[in-house]
A and B are shown apart, each in its own frame.
Chain A
Amino acid sequence: MTQKPLLEIKNLRKMYDDGFEAVKGISFSVRKGEVFGILGPNGAGKTTTLEMIEGMRPITGGTALLDGLNVQEEPYAVKERIGVQLQASSFFPNLSLLELLKLFSDLYAESTNAMELLREVGLEEKAKSAVKELSGGQKQRFSIATTLVNNPVAVFLDEPTTGLDPQARRNLWDLVQQIQKRGTTVIITTHYMEEAQVLCDRVAIMDEGKIIALDTPDKLIQQLLDRGFKPQTKVAPATLEDVFIDLTGKELRD
Chain B
Amino acid sequence: MKRTLISLWSLTVASTKMYFRNKSAVFFTLFLPLAFIGVFGLLSQSGNSSFTLDVTNHSTTPLAKNVVTGLGKVSAFKVNQVSEADGATQLGKGKADLQVIIPAGFGQIDPATHRVSATKIITHYNAGKPQNGQAANLVLGQIVAGLNDQVTQTPQIISLESSGVKTNNLGTIDFLLPGILAMSIMQLGIFSVAFAFVSMKTTGMLRRIQATPTHPINFVIAQGATRLLIGLLQVVLLTVLGVWLFGFHMLGNWLTFLLMAILGTLVFLGFGFTVAGWAKDENQAAPIANIFSFPMLFLSGIFFPRDAFPDWLKHITDFFPLTYLADAMRSIANEGAHLAQLSGDILGLVVWGLIMFALAVKVFKWE
Q: Are A92 and B205 in contact (CB under 8 A)?
A: yes
> Which of A88, A94, A107 interacts with B10 by CB under 8 Å?
A107
Q: With contacts defined as CB atoms under 8 Å apart, how many contacts are there between chain A and chain B in the complex? A: 72
Known: A92-B18, A108-B3, A109-B6. A86 touches B212 (CB 8 A): no
Chain B residue at minimal CB-CB distance from A104: B212
For residue B2, CB closer than 8 A to chain A, the reply is yes
Chain A residues with Cβ below 8 Å from B17 are 94-95, 99
Chain A positions within 8 Å of B3 at CB level: 107-109
B48 on the interface (CB 8 Å rule)? no
- Inside 8 A of B11's CB, which chain A residues have their CB? 103, 106-107
Least Cβ–Cβ distance between A147 and chain B, in angstroms: 9
CB distance from B226 to the nearest CB of A (A): 12
Of A76, A77, A91, A93, the contact of B208 (CB 8 Å cutoff): A91
- The total of chain B residues at the interface (CB under 8 A) is 25
Q: Is B253 in the interface zone, CB < 8 Å from A?
A: no
Contact A94 to B18, CB < 8 A, known contacts A102-B10, A107-B7, A109-B7: yes
A91 to B199, CA, bound (A): 10
A95 to B281: give the CA distance in the assembly, Å: 22
Query: A86 and B7 in contact (CB under 8 A), knowing A93-B22, A95-B17, A107-B212?
Result: no
CA of A29 to CA of B213, assembled, Å? 23
Q: Among B2, B200, B207, B211, find the residue whose CB has the most chain A CB atoms closer than 10 A.
A: B211
CB < 8 Å neighbour of A56 from B2, B6, B199, B211: B211
Q: Which residue of A lies closest to B13 (CB)?
A: A103
CB distance A107 to B214 under 8 Å? yes
B residues 174-220 with Cβ under 8 Å of A? 199-200, 203-205, 207-214
Contacting pair B22 A108 (CB below 8 A): no
Q: Could you list some 18 contacts between A and B, CB below 8 A?
A: A56-B211, A79-B213, A86-B204, A86-B208, A86-B211, A90-B203, A91-B205, A92-B14, A92-B200, A93-B199, A94-B22, A95-B18, A106-B6, A107-B10, A107-B214, A109-B3, A109-B6, A146-B208
